[in-house]
């Protein structure tokens, strides 16, 4: 690739990749590296350093050395850095969008969703971290005789973040922002196929004022780098598959290290009998095919009340058939590429299994090599057996199944008939009915009359999965406090007991009377 390669976006060049390679933590100079390809074409564009366990050790050491100095800064100062990062991301978004598209194959509009997420997250925590982290007064042990307890928040130390390829902007940095605000350092291990997007984000963090060694990046094979990272850090934030999440959680547990993780989903969308069909069809298209279906909170199962099913199916299929595919580094394309040959193969296998089991393919159902090596047509299935791969396993591609249901009870039962519980969507003209149904759905987030945006973008509210879709929460105060250790500090105003315990029966009887009185006085409860 030359500095002026006409096949790439004009903002990217050999110099871009060389500059970003310099941000990778390496314990020693080595020649080992791995290819990074443009997803739209499958063409190699650069080679990124292949890190080893020794590099992870060095990264954690550097981060730990920098963390003490960072934690000494006031939270207000850390907030100012994050607010500058918000502005830098907006200023440098074109280069960031180019890299995200190049490495992941998504459309530009879907890449911009990630810019929005990072800025919303930075704005939220950049103005609220000081309040969330402030020392909190709690009720004393014994009113009048004890001082109020204080809860102090300390940073955990070094946070290890393992991020996936499907949202290389959001998932590389949106979990890092609250970790940094809490006074921690970060060691980031991005997905093998999207390292440069993560490296550019680290460059932008440094431009905003984050100290150079505070955020370290190790690139390369997850199976090689993941175990030493989990062993060395003080907290693990992981986003990825349920299977890998189990391994990460087990390793963290052995080390008595806390963790949070967003894992797989097989997310349902429920269209109740009073839904606005125009809105439901349009919303379902976005919920199912954003980022070519490679979205943890995207919809893969749609349950429609039988009174609306035929009309919904016909209109939905028509709308999906009109979606455009393309490789443009500009706005206007509806759906981009799958991220890799592996993802394409999974989609092909699920659709082939569905056909073999008698499912009907209403549109799509085929790869699109005429557009690019990993493109697949948006696909709508009906008559899908409940034990088919596309019905019960996460496809993570542009494939959705439709099924009629006889009322909201069946819709809820089918929605909950899965080992996952990440996100769900309910469509109804009656919002109170929608809220009642939402409370019955076993999912960490439920959006009424929307696919996922309203809950995902509600940064003040926690987001995460139930069942096998994860543990812990990102967003909201919870997403910041997870990166802290709480410490309780309390003081005794005067001695109220014998140094060892209750001295005699008389004292015990007096305390019994006091305890009974205590419960009956509202101002002391």
Alpha-carbon distance 84 to 205, whole Å? Answer: 9
Tokens of 30: 């080595």
Tokens of 471: 């543990």
Give the DSSP letter of residue 22: T
Cβ–Cβ under 8 Å, residues 373 and 348:
no
Tokens of 106: 């998504």
SS3 state at 490: coil
Tokens of 259: 């963790």
- Catalytic one of 103, 192, 203, 262: 262
Alpha-carbon distance 437 to 447, whole Å? Answer: 11
- What average pLDDT does the segment 167-195 reach? 98
pLDDT in tens, 392-416: 999 999 999 999 999 999 999 999 9
* Higher pLDDT, residue 7 or 233: 233
Measured from the Cβ of residue 73, the count of other Cβ atoms closer than 10 Å reads: 13
Q: State the Cα torsion 213-219-221-227 to the nearest 10°.
A: 10
Confidence at residue 332, expressed as pLDDT on a 0 to 100 scale: 96
- What average pLDDT does the segment 469-477 reach? 97
Cβ–Cβ under 8 Å, residues 313 and 382:
yes
Question: What is this structure's pTM?
Answer: 0.95
Beta strands in 341-479 (DSSP E): 360-363, 379-382, 399-405, 420-421, 423-427, 445-448, 466-467, 470-471
* Higher pLDDT, residue 495 or 359: 359
Alpha-carbon distance 462 to 472, whole Å? Answer: 9
- What average pLDDT does the segment 89-108 reach? 98
Confidence at residue 492, expressed as pLDDT on a 0 to 100 scale: 85
Confidence at residue 496, expressed as pLDDT on a 0 to 100 scale: 56
SS3 state at 468: coil
Given this chain, do its domains 14-132+153-263 and 267-465 carry the same CATH topology?
Answer: no
3-state SS record for 95-163: HHHHHHHHHHCCCHHHHHHHHHHHHHHHHHHHHHHHHHHCCEEECCCCCCCECCEEEEEEECCEEEEEC
Please name the residue that has the structure tokens 């199912």: 288
Nearest alpha carbon to residue 169 among 191, 146, 141: 191
Alpha-carbon distance 236 to 160, whole Å? Answer: 5
Q: Which H helix or E strand runs over 238?
A: strand 235-239
296 flagged as catalytic: yes
271 strand-pairing partners: 304, 427
Alpha-carbon distance 450 to 287, whole Å? Answer: 8
Whether the predicted pLDDT of 2 surpasses 50: no
Strands across the sheet containing 235-239: 215-217, 185-189, 158-162, 235-239, 258-262, 470-471
Tokens of 522: 């509202």
Tell how far CA 253 is from the center of its chain: 21
pLDDT in tens, 411-470: 999 999 999 999 999 999 999 999 999 999 999 999 999 999 999 999 999 999 999 999
Cβ–Cβ under 8 Å, residues 202 and 215:
yes
Question: Which region holds residue 144: left if phi is over 0, alpha if psi is between -120 and 50, else beta?
Answer: left
Alpha-carbon distance 436 to 21, whole Å? Answer: 51
Q: How sure is the predictor about 517, in pLDDT bands with cuts at 50, 70 and 90?
A: confident
Q: How sure is the predictor about 509, in pLDDT bands with cuts at 50, 70 and 90?
A: confident
Confidence at residue 499, expressed as pLDDT on a 0 to 100 scale: 57
Alpha-carbon distance 148 to 522, whole Å? Answer: 17
Alpha-carbon distance 15 to 20, whole Å? Answer: 9
54-68, 229-243, 285-299, 486-500: segment of lowest average pLDDT: 486-500
Please name the residue that has the structure tokens 């569905």: 354
Length of the chain measured in residues: 525
Give the DSSP letter of residue 350: H
Q: What percent of the chain has pLDDT over 90?
A: 89
Phi and psi at 2, nearest 5°, equal -100, 170
Q: Which CATH number fits domain 267-465: 3.30.70.270, 3.40.309.10, 3.40.640.10, 3.50.50.60?
A: 3.40.309.10
Q: How sure is the predictor about 82, in pLDDT bands with cuts at 50, 70 and 90?
A: very high
Whether the predicted pLDDT of 145 surpasses 50: yes
Q: Which CATH number fits domain 14-132+153-263: 3.30.465.10, 3.90.700.10, 3.40.50.880, 3.40.605.10?
A: 3.40.605.10
Confidence at residue 1, expressed as pLDDT on a 0 to 100 scale: 40
Kindly list the domain boundaries of the chain, sorted by start residue: 14-132+153-263, 267-465, 495-524
Confidence at residue 519, expressed as pLDDT on a 0 to 100 scale: 82
- Catalytic one of 296, 300, 363, 389: 296
Nearest alpha carbon to residue 308 among 342, 277, 279: 277
As a whole number, the mean pLDDT across the chain is 95
Tokens of 141: 């042990």
Between strands 235-239 and 258-262, the pairing is parallel
- What average pLDDT does the segment 357-364 reach? 98
- What average pLDDT does the segment 159-178 reach? 98
Nearest alpha carbon to residue 306 among 406, 448, 178: 406
262 flagged as catalytic: yes
Rounded-to-5 percentages of helix, strand, coil across the chain = 45, 20, 35
- What average pLDDT does the segment 318-325 reach? 98
Q: How sure is the predictor about 501, in pLDDT bands with cuts at 50, 70 and 90?
A: low
**Which residues, 6+ apart, have CB-to-CB distance to 213 below 8 Å?**
62, 63, 65, 66, 185
Whether the predicted pLDDT of 503 surpasses 90: no
142 strand-pairing partners: none
pLDDT in tens, 34-43: 999 999 999 9
Phi and psi at 158, nearest 5°, equal -110, 125
Q: How sure is the predictor about 508, in pLDDT bands with cuts at 50, 70 and 90?
A: confident
SS3 state at 445: strand
Q: How sure is the predictor about 54, in pLDDT bands with cuts at 50, 70 and 90?
A: very high
Nearest alpha carbon to residue 156 among 83, 252, 282, 278: 252
Confidence at residue 521, expressed as pLDDT on a 0 to 100 scale: 82
Q: 371 vs 41, 102, 378, 504, CA distance in Å?
A: 9, 15, 13, 86
């Amino acid at each position: 690739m030359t500095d002026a390669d006409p096949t790439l976006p004009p903002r990217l060049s050999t110099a871009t990749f060389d500059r970003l390679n310099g941000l990778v933590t390496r314990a020693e100079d080595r020649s080992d590296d791995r290819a990074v390809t443009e997803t739209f074409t499958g063409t190699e564009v650069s080679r990124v350093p292949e890190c080893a366990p020794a590099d992870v050790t060095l990264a954690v050491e550097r981060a730990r050395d920098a963390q003490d100095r960072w934690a000494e800064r006031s939270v207000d100062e850390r907030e100012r850095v994050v607010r500058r990062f918000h502005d830098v991301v907006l200023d440098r978004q074109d280069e960031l969008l180019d890299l995200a598209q190049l490495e992941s194959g998504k459309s530009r509009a879907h890449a911009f969703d990630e810019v929005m997420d990072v800025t919303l997250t930075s704005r939220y925590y950049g103005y609220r971290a000081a309040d969330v982290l402030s020392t909190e007064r709690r009720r004393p042990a014994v009113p009048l005789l004890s001082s109020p307890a204080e809860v102090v928040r300390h940073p955990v130390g070094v946070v290890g973040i393992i991020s996936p390829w499907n949202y290389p902007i959001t998932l590389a940095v949106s979990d890092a922002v609250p970790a940094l605000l809490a006074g921690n350092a970060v060691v980031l291990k991005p997905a093998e196929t999207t390292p440069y997007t993560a490296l550019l984000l680290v460059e932008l963090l440094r431009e905003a004022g984050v100290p150079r060694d505070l955020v370290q990046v190790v690139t390369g094979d997850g199976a090689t780098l993941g175990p030493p990272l989990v062993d060395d850090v003080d907290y693990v934030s992981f986003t990825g598959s349920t299977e890998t999440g189990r391994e990460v959680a087990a390793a963290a547990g052995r080390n008595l290290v806390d963790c949070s993780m967003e894992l797989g989903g097989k997310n349902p969308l429920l269209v109740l009998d009073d839904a606005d069909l125009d809105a439901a069809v349009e919303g379902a298209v976005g919920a199912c095919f954003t980022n070519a279906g490679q979205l943890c909170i995207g919809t893969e199962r749609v349950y429609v009340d039988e009174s609306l099913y035929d009309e919904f199916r016909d209109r939905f299929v028509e709308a999906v058939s009109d979606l455009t595919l393309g490789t443009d580094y500009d706005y206007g394309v509806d759906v981009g590429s799958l991220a890799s040959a592996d993802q394409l193969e999974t989609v092909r296998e699920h659709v082939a299994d569905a056909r073999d089991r008698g499912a009907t393919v209403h549109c799509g159902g085929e790869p699109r090599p005429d557009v690019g090596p990993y493109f697949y047509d948006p696909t709508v299935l009906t008559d899908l057996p409940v034990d088919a791969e596309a019905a019960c396993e996460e496809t993570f591609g542009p494939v959705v199944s439709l099924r009629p249901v006889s009322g909201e009870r069946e819709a809820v039962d089918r929605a909950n008939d899965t080992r996952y519980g990440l996100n769900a969507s309910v469509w109804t003209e009656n919002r109170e009915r929608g809220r009642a149904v939402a409370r019955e759905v076993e999912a960490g987030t439920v959006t009424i009359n929307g696919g996922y945006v309203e809950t995902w973008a509600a940064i003040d509210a926690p987001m995460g999965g139930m069942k096998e879709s994860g543990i812990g929460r990102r967003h909201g105060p919870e997403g910041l406090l997870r990166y802290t250790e709480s410490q309780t500090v309390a003081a005794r105003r005067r001695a109220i007991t014998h140094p060892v315990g209750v001295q005699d029966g008389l004292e015990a009887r007096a305390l019994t009377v006091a305890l009974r009185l205590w419960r009956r006085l509202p101002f002391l409860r």
